A = this chain, B = another copy of it.
Amino acid sequence: MRVVVPFAPERPKTRLAPVLDEAGRVAFARTMLDDVLSVLSTLDRERGVPVDPLVLSTASVDCGAPVTVDDRQLTEAVNDYLPTSDGDDPVAVVMADLALVTPAALEGLFEPDADVVIAPGRGGGTNALVVRDPDFRVDYHGASVRDHRDIAREAGLSVAHVDSFRLATDVDEPADLVEVLLHGTGEAATWLREAGFSVVATDGRVDVERNSG
């Protein structure tokens, strides 16, 4: 499976500014990318799922997979890498901030035999996608999960949804760090712990706190 991983190394994750300075956000975003690439590599090496990764980055980045620099908007850039003719190999698009991703979660994404497979993200996003038909094009603006269903339906394509909390959890806001600390199995969780973050439960609610010590 060709897997495109969009990544923006410059000024990433601005909504984490209340808890991480810019250098921290850059390093943490990069760690999440590494986790996603590591899971793809595990699928390929250990699970017999051939994976051909491509990091589609808005700026140069040195990482464990081939990189193409493309500074266009996400939608335009991704659309250039989708199948263009019947018979083209399918293409998956997996976001670089899925810090809970596991090989099993991605296997669940690759499995359904539909023209388009959608893994919804929280808040209306599309965190991962498989496209098997050249008539499909992405549109990541707004409630993209709804738009992607509409685009597929209008093109007469079959759609499958993947029900995965791990794929639904992209990391944008401080509250999302709770999920990484509780459920992450990769370096991003380790990075947060080493940066002093931990889960605190106060009067029934759960949040992160950071010890600078």
Residues of A within 8 A of B (CB): 102, 104-105, 108, 120, 122-125, 141-143, 145-146, 163-168, 175, 178-179, 182-183, 199, 201-202, 204-206
Distance between Cα atoms of A42 and B202 in the complex (Å): 38
| Residue in contact with A182 in the complex, picked from B102, B143, B201, CB distance below 8 Å | B143
Whether A199 pairs with B124 at a CB distance below 8 angstroms is yes
With A and B bound together, what is the CA distance between A102 and B204 in angstroms?
A: 27
CB distance from A53 to the nearest CB of B (A): 22
Given contacts A163-B166, A206-B143, contact A182 B120 (CB under 8 A): yes
Q: What DSSP secondary structure best describes chain A's contact surface?
A: helix
**What chain B residues lie within 8 Å of A175 (beta carbons)?**
123
B142 to A183, Cβ gap below 8 A? no
Q: Which residues of B contact A167 (CB under 8 A)?
A: 165
Question: Quick check: A122 and B204 within 8 Å, CB to CB?
Answer: no
Q: How far is the CB of A40 from chain B (nearest CB, A)?
A: 18
Flag if B183 contacts A143 (CB, 8 Å): no
Residues of B within 8 A of A179 (CB): 122-123
Closest to A165 in B: B168
Write out the residue numbers on chain B whose beta carbons fall within 8 Å of the beta carbon of A108.
163
Q: Are B142 and A201 in contact (CB under 8 A)?
A: yes
Contact residue among B105, B122, B165, B204 (Cβ-Cβ distance under 8 Å from A142): B204
Q: How far is the CA of A179 from the CA of B161 in the complex (A)?
A: 14
A202 to B123, CA, bound (A): 12
CB distance from A14 to the nearest CB of B (A): 12
| Contact indicator A141/B204 (Cβ below 8 Å) | yes
Report the separation of the CA atoms of residues A138 and B166 in the bound assembly, to the nearest whole angstrom.
24
A206 and chain B: residue at smallest CB distance: B124
Given A105-B163, A165-B165, A182-B120: A146 touches B204 (CB 8 Å cut-off):
no
